[in-house]
Amino acid sequence: MVNIVGGFLFTAYACMRGEQSGNCSFSFETSLSRDGRFKGEQMLHCMVFREKSPKNSSAIPRPFWMCVRGIRGDRRWFNRQLLTLGGMEGQRHVKCVYRDFDALNNSHDPSKATKPLLCPLLEVKLLRGVQVMIKTACNFSLGEQLRITVHSSRHFMPYCCASSKEPATRAVECGRWSSSTAQMHDLIPSELRQAKEAEKVGNLLGKYSAPLK
């Protein structure tokens, strides 16, 4: 359940769709501000391997960023999320935000998980996991629970800006930028980096099946 909570926070702060969370990587953290001075704010630079788009020409790798400290100014949630993914190095191999799990009777309920799996949590199981987590955390009714989708976290920051009546220029910086800046062609990750990331994923089966031989 801890991984589901952290994954929802991650996708909310990154204004990221749930479908994209199963095919991404973390690059590095930086706390360098615009004026060149190091401050307490920390940003995580990441990459999605394939943008969600109905047009094949637009479904390209792109960068995205996330504020590590979140809206409460505390990074403990992110440190715990990294632990569920095997740390920063572990996440570079797993390539996901939500981690799949095994449960009795193939249940999709994360509260019944028996062990984590080294693969992303996807599709119906991801949706069910997020709904159960939200219901548990917020004491939602069944009707409210079923309204939650894997897209819900994507809209969190823009809704916060709308509710607090932030000016448009600030709202863009709080999340709506992901539909413009990140689509710039000069920000597309290099082919060399994409090839290196693909090679790491290709080595997963051999890496994790070795102990079972």
Q: Residue ranges of the alpha helices (H) in the chain?
A: 2-13, 76-84, 87-94, 123-138, 142-146, 156-163, 168-173, 191-202, 204-209
- Greater pLDDT, 40 or 126: 126
Q: How many CB atoms lie within 10 A of CB 199?
A: 9
Q: Is the pLDDT of residue 179 over 60?
A: no
DSSP 8-state assignment for residue 211: G
Q: Would you give the DSSP letter of residue 190?
A: P
Q: Rounded mean pLDDT of the chain?
A: 76
Alpha-carbon distance values, 48 to 45, 106, 114, 206, 207 (Å): 11, 29, 29, 24, 23
Question: Model's pTM, two decimal places?
Answer: 0.75
pLDDT band at 207 (very low <50, low <70, confident <90, very high): very low
**Position 186: which residue type?**
D
What integer pLDDT is reported at residue 210 of this predicted model? 43
Domains annotated for the chain, with CATH where assigned, are: 2-201 (1.10.443)
Give residue-wise pLDDT tens across range 85-142.
877 666 666 778 898 999 888 888 888 889 888 788 888 899 998 998 888 888 888 7
- Buried-state track 36-73, b at ≥16 Cβ within 10 A, e below 16: eeeeeebbbebbbbebeeeeeeeebbbbbbbbbbbeee
Structural Rg of the chain based on CA atoms: 18
Contact 26, 91 (CB under 8 A): yes
The amino acid at 105: N
Of the candidates 114, 117, 113, the one whose C-alpha atom is nearest the C-alpha of residue 132 is 113
Give the separation between CA 3 and CA 34, rounded to whole angstroms.
Answer: 32
